[in-house]
Amino acid sequence: MTSVADIEVMTRPGLVALWEDLFGDPPPKSLSRPVLRRILAFEVQARVMGGLPKGFVAKLDRAAIADAPNRRPDMRPGGRLLREWNGVTHVVDVTEQGYRWRDQTWRSLSVIAREITGAHWSGPRFFGLNGRTKA
């Protein structure tokens, strides 16, 4: 079995070969060597220690199935949020995949609020969804 120390000195082709050996498929091309090393080291250690904790894989599977973003119950697909900021009206549509703003889908209202303002905001608060008045 390959050790974590071996993984630390492997070249990218060696890391790819180990990945294919462990997982049966090639790794995503976008993964950097440091990320490959971390994932492979975790996998090697988990296998040496007897695998992942009981029930953990089932939780991962449930999380993958429930891939929809966490939305407030009142935010159903088809809804629309409007907010004026510095004289510009911003329109965000609620979709099955997340929030659509400027022809791009976002998973979080807070990220959209940060893009609009350049500062950290609670997305629901920025769009007035918490019952308070907007700043």
User: Does one domain contain both 43 and 10?
Assistant: yes
pLDDT digits (tens, 9 = 90+) for 3-44: 999 999 999 999 999 999 999 999 998 899 999 999 999 999
Characterize 61-91 residue by residue with b for buried, 16 or more Cβ atoms within 10 angstroms of its Cβ, and e for exposed.
Answer: eeeeeeeebebeeebeeeeebebeeeeeebe
Could you tell me if 124 and 113 are in contact, meaning their C-beta atoms sit under 8 angstroms apart? no
Q: Is 0.75 topped by the overall pTM?
A: no
Two tokens, residue 121: 């905001």
User: Does one domain contain both 9 and 60?
Assistant: yes
Q: Is 45 among the domain residues?
A: yes
Domain that holds residue 20: 4-65
CA dist 10 and 99 (Å) reads 41
Say how many domains are in the chain. 2
CA dist 45 and 53 (Å) reads 12
Average pLDDT over all residues of the chain: 87
CA dist 8 and 129 (Å) reads 48
Residue 118 has pLDDT above 80, yes or no: yes
